């Protein structure tokens, strides 16, 4: 499981011109990619890591200040462009595997007390954000 986590002042995701998820205060924008062998252990680890990562202002975590998290599915995080001109997506788990795990990460964040907004799994999404810093980290388990 991989996540690109950005500290943002605000962020939103739209599908077909309609906003489906948004945070309008400082928080985290998380692009989440899932590979074939991910499971419950990766779900739990990723949710806790995102929630407790001290990357907000004054080295605070989302759990410290109740910051919201916008989670967007992103299979392209497992793209491999080392050869040729077209990335290979073979390391990305198919939708029937990755969608339940994406939903499980979101649900685990919520269970831990985090306000979660979501994109729409598998949809063509438009993501807008105002990065804070900018500050971006890559998480991988």
φ, ψ at 101 (rounded to 5°): -75, -40
Is 53:59 a contact under the CB 8 Å cutoff?
no
Question: From CA 33, how far away is CA 99, in angstroms rounded?
Answer: 10
76, 90, 114, 136: the active-site residue? 76
76 catalytic per annotation: yes
Choosing from 75, 90, 114, 135, the catalytic residue is 75
Specify whether 6 is catalytic: no
Whether 74 is catalytic: yes
Catalytic residue among 6, 35, 60, 74: 74
Taking phi over 0 as left and psi of -120 to 50 as alpha, with beta for the rest, 75 belongs to: alpha
Active site positions, annotated = 74-76
């Amino acid at each position: 499981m991989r996540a690109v986590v950005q500290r943002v002042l605000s962020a939103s995701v739209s599908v077909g011109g309609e906003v489906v998820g948004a945070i309008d205060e400082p928080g985290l924008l998380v692009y989440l990619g899932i590979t074939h062998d991910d499971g419950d252990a990766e779900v739990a680890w990723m949710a806790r890591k995102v929630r407790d990562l001290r990357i907000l202002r004054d080295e605070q975590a989302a759990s410290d200040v109740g910051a919201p998290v916008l989670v967007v599915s992103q299979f392209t995080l497992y793209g491999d462009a080392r050869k040729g001109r077209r990335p290979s997506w073979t390391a990305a788990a198919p939708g029937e595997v990755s969608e339940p795990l994406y939903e499980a990460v979101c649900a685990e964040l919520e269970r831990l007390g985090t306000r979660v907004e979501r994109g729409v799994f598998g949809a063509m999404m438009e993501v807008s954000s105002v990065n804070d810093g900018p500050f971006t980290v890559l998480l991988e388990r």
